[in-house]
Amino acid sequence: MTNLEKYDNAFKLNFKVSDEDLPGLVYQGIFEWDSVGHMDLMADFEAAYGIQMSTKDVLDFTSYEKGKKILTERYGVNFDE
């Protein structure tokens, strides 16, 4: 499974959304992505990529697109593999 597939799957499994829902998805934009859903999502990324995210990065992770940027720039997750 590629890093992008892991990334997308975390959203899809946690929030019961489909591929077409992912672009533009934002924190608190849907019921499931509230504070509890956010914690679950972050825990899944930490487990999937073997990283430990800082509190600041977790709080800055406010959209599907921004999350990719944070994971790439701060944790070296390559989504182009």
Q: Are 70 and 64 in contact (CB under 8 A)?
A: no
Smaller CB separation from another protein, 19 or 55: 55
User: What is the token pair recorded at 65?
Assistant: 């697109």
> Under rule CB under 8 A, which residues in 29-58 are in contact with another protein?
35-40, 42-43, 46-47, 52, 55, 58
Cβ proximity to another protein: between 19 and 54 the closer is: 54
CB of 35 to another protein, least distance (A): 4
Helices 3-15, 64-75: crossing angle, 10 deg rounding: 140
Cβ neighbours for 67, distance < 8 A, ≥ 6 positions apart = 7, 45, 61
Under the rule (CB under 8 A), what is the footprint of another protein?
35-40, 42-43, 46-47, 52, 55, 58-59
